Chain A
């Protein structure tokens, strides 16, 4: 496809469940980002990949969050033992990876933890 694809679009999880969110970046994009967007807030950085290497995970809020991109394309953000404060929209973005190149965003996954 032409854009960044995220699935599922909506996810409802009971507190304590594990969830996995998928991101298909634009073909050929080297850089991949995950952001968390709470209601009424801007996107907050979670983690960044260059190809398969996770170069920055400083934004992950706890050790319940981890992300992977094993083949340098599709990425998965996993949240273990979900908590209510994890409820947010999780955005994936990709870019060419060259200095300052803009990010292309997916539609996001809206996670609701009940």
Chain B
């Protein structure tokens, strides 16, 4: 069965620091990969997604993620975080030909200090 592992439970950074959140997945086939963000008191929102093609995917708010197939990884990055990036971040995986098996990681809580 597919699974997603997020390495960091809670990350605390100061504004302008660089961010990298780890995500590894296990899936028996070609995959689509996602990062969702949940700001305090809000619903889960799509940050970015990888379907195929360029393994470096750019999303909203300056976030990007790189799909490394050989490492089964899809790490999220941002060069310079802002206080408003404080949120919970979830990595998710699903099969390429259907999305009825989307599975999420446990999430990483990011706190950005002003």
Answer yes or no: are A and B bound together in one complex.
yes
Least Cβ–Cβ distance between B15 and chain A, in angstroms: 25
Contacts A48-B100, A56-B100, A100-B32; is A105 near B106 (CB within 8 Å)? Answer: no
Cross-chain contact B43 with A107 (CB below 8 angstroms)? yes
CB-CB under 8 A from B36, the residues of chain A are 105
From B4, B98, B105, B106, A99 is in contact (CB under 8 Å) with B98
Chain A positions near chain B (C-beta within 8 angstroms): 3-4, 31, 33, 35, 40-45, 48, 50, 55-56, 91, 93, 95, 97-108
Among B61-69, B72-80, B89-97, the one that faces the other chain is B89-97
CB-CB under 8 A from B105, the residues of chain A are 42
Cross-chain contact A100 with B96 (CB below 8 angstroms)? yes
Nearest B residue to A55 via CB reads B100
Total interface residues in chain B, CB < 8 Å: 27
In Å, the complex CA distance between A108 and B42 comes to: 9
In Å, the complex CA distance between A104 and B97 comes to: 18
Cross-chain contact A97 with B99 (CB below 8 angstroms)? yes
Name 14 extra pairs, CB < 8 A, besides A56-B100, A107-B43: A33-B100, A42-B106, A55-B100, A91-B44, A98-B99, A99-B96, A99-B99, A100-B49, A100-B96, A100-B98, A102-B34, A103-B99, A106-B43, A108-B43
Contacts A102-B49, A106-B43, A107-B42; is A41 near B99 (CB within 8 Å)? Answer: no
Nearest B residue to A95 via CB reads B99
Cross-chain contact B90 with A100 (CB below 8 angstroms)? no
CB-CB under 8 A from A45, the residues of chain B are 101-103
In Å, the complex CA distance between A40 and B6 comes to: 13
In Å, the complex CA distance between A113 and B28 comes to: 37
Nearest A residue to B102 via CB reads A103
